[in-house]
């Protein structure tokens, strides 16, 4: 495997101090933490982190031909850089309502697996979010995103905009992270 075929998604734990922040202060702290994870991903990839801009829809704009994605939740933040469009999402696995389960996937998608619906909910949700980030669309495209195939318990295929996207999952500490694989090999880093 060549170095250029390898990408390094980085996940960092949120400190107790940052978890206890409120409102705008917390969002800003989590965003900075996600950007520090992105910086580690860049170092691992041999890429110098450039200026991080977003377009009018809030989608990340590539810097020096490098695509990037960040994500953050209350307990973890993450970032990744790649030579092709990619998306990264993290969620804590927890109980969810039937209404939310029905919103994230339709009957055909749920029929693809008979394993734990709660785990699949978070697999489907984070995979779709990662694809929507990679496409630059955002959550408004959720209803156009569908699970095409479940490869195994750590990867699946999403169909969006007549394109198939392979998504890889990483389970850790009661959380799931999903990344658009896009032909890359993935080396996860948890800090």
Residue 130 dihedral angles phi and psi, to the nearest 5°: -60, -45
Is pTM beyond 0.75 here?
yes
pLDDT single digits (tens) 104-135: 999 999 999 988 888 999 999 999 999 999 99
State the pLDDT at residue 74. 95
Q: Which residue spans within the chain are E strands per DSSP?
A: 6-7, 10-13, 53-54, 60-61, 67-72, 76-82, 88-92, 146-152, 155-160, 163-172, 175-180, 185-186, 189-190
State the pLDDT at residue 4. 65
The DSSP annotation for 130-170 comes to HHHHHHT--GGGGGG-EEEEEEETTEEEEEETTEEEEEEEE
State the pLDDT at residue 66. 97
State the pLDDT at residue 1. 46
Domains and CATH numbers, the chain: 3-190 (3.90.470.20)
State the pLDDT at residue 141. 72
Average per-residue pLDDT for the chain: 94
Identify the three-state secondary structure at position 89.
strand
Query: 92 vs 116, 119, 166, 167, CA distance in Å?
Result: 15, 10, 21, 18
Residue 149 dihedral angles phi and psi, to the nearest 5°: -160, 140
In 48-116, which ranges are continuous DSSP H helix? Answer: 98-104, 107-110
Share of the chain above pLDDT 90, in %: 84
Identify the three-state secondary structure at position 118.
helix
pLDDT single digits (tens) 60-109: 999 999 999 999 999 999 999 999 999 999 999 999 998 998 889 999 99
State the pLDDT at residue 117. 86
Q: Is the pLDDT of residue 35 over 50?
A: yes
State the pLDDT at residue 70. 97
Average pLDDT in the 170-186 region?
A: 96
Rounded Cα gap, residues 41 and 49, in angstroms: 9
Q: Which residues of 90-103 are buried (b: 16+ CB within 10 A; e: fewer)?
A: bbebeebeeeebee
State the pLDDT at residue 92. 97
């Amino acid at each position: 495997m060549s170095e250029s075929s390898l990408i390094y998604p980085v996940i960092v734990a949120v400190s107790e101090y940052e978890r206890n922040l409120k409102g705008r202060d917390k969002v800003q702290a989590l965003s900075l933490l996600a950007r520090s994870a992105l910086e580690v991903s860049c170092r691992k990839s041999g890429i110098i982190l450039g200026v991080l801009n977003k377009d009018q829809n809030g989608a990340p704009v590539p810097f020096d031909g490098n695509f990037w994605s960040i994500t953050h939740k209350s307990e973890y933040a993450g970032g990744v850089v790649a030579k092709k469009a990619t998306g990264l999402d993290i969620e804590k696995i927890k109980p969810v309502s039937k209404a939310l389960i029905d919103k994230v996937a339709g009957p055909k998608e749920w029929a693809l697996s008979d394993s734990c619906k709660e785990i699949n909910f978070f697999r489907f949700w984070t995979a779709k979010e990662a694809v929507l980030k990679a496409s630059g669309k955002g959550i408004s495209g959720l209803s156009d995103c569908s699970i095409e195939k479940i490869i195994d318990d750590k990867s699946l295929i999403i169909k969006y905009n007549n394109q198939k996207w392979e998504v890889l999952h990483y389970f850790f500490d009661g959380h799931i992270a999903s990344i658009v694989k896009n032909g890359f090999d993935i080396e996860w880093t948890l800090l």
